[in-house]
Amino acid sequence: MASIVQFENVGLRYGLGSEALSDISFSLDSGGFYFLTGASGAGKTSLLKLLYLAQRPSRGVIRLFNEDVVTLPRKRLPGFRRRIGVVFQDFRLVPHLSTYDNIALPLRVAGMEESEIAAPVAEMLAWVGLADRADARPATLSGGEQQRVAIARAVIGRPEILIADEPTGNVDPDMAQRLLTLFEALNKLGTTMVVATHDIPLIGKVPDAQMMRLDRGRLADPTGSLRYPPGRAGSA
């Protein structure tokens, strides 16, 4: 299977401090499902920033879609970012836009006609259980509702890669399972999934997923071949 992401000896340093990430090397297959785990401060958010092109590494090579994005001209970055969906831990919804308009935003940025937007947005609203909150502004939504809007916005454009930072952290177990089902459906359509999570039981619910674990800025399992956490091998 072709690789969609490749990291080669990547390091990341903020300012003059020690490296937040050191000697990171891995590849992700197109259409794969990957969980990223690690203790707080292990470097998960830093690694995700490199993946969605919000940060350039201090050293090493990163290839996305078979192109070196470290040396990529800045004018080409927006085109690459449109191929990547991101669910941020702090949601980053546009405060003056309704739920409907926040979800529709990627389609409008991509130039889709308004007549073609209504159906996919309605489908997303139903998927995340917010059909009755379409007109609500973010400030009137609970944390869990805001997170569901952020997820719907990230996936509506059918990105080639979806990066989610703790996407089930503010929802109840039933909604977490519903969102995981949505992620799996997208994955079956060909979207490569990268989900950062502390929720170890969640990982066991995706039997075909692989897990990468960060430990103090280094990959504890560089091959990315650890399919289940210790003690859960073979679980579903």
Alpha helical stretches, state H, the chain: 44-51, 77-81, 99-109, 114-127, 143-155, 173-188, 200-203
- Quick check: is 143 in a domain? yes
Q: Tokens 């490296």: give the residue.
A: 19
Per-residue model confidence as pLDDT tens for the chain (236 residues): 689 999 999 999 998 889 999 999 999 999 999 999 998 889 999 999 999 999 999 999 999 999 999 999 989 988 898 899 999 888 999 999 999 999 999 999 989 999 999 999 999 999 888 999 999 999 999 988 998 999 999 999 889 999 999 888 777 888 888 888 889 988 998 999 999 998 888 888 888 899 999 999 999 865 444 443 443 333 33
3-state SS class at 60: strand
Q: Tokens 């990468």: give the residue.
A: 212
Distance (Å, rounded) from C-alpha 153 to C-alpha 173?
Answer: 21
Distance (Å, rounded) from C-alpha 107 to C-alpha 194?
Answer: 22
Q: How many domains does the chain have?
A: 1
The pLDDT of residue 227? 40
Contact between 189 and 158 (Cβ < 8 Å): yes
- Quick check: is 225 in a domain? no
- Quick check: is 128 in a domain? yes
Domain that holds residue 193: 32-57+78-219
**Which residues fall within 8 angstroms of residue 149, CB to CB, at 6 or more apart?**
91, 93, 99, 102, 103, 128, 130, 138, 141
The pLDDT of residue 221? 63
Cα dihedral 119, 123, 129, 131, rounded to 10, equals: 10
- Quick check: is 15 in a domain? no
Contact between 206 and 172 (Cβ < 8 Å): no
- Quick check: is 228 in a domain? no
User: pTM of the predicted model, to two decimals?
Assistant: 0.86
- Quick check: is 123 in a domain? yes
- Quick check: is 65 in a domain? no
Q: Count other C-beta atoms under 10 Å from residue 218's C-beta.
A: 16
Contact between 80 and 72 (Cβ < 8 Å): yes
Task: Indicate which CATH number applies to the domain containing 169.
Answer: 3.40.50.300
- Quick check: is 2 in a domain? no
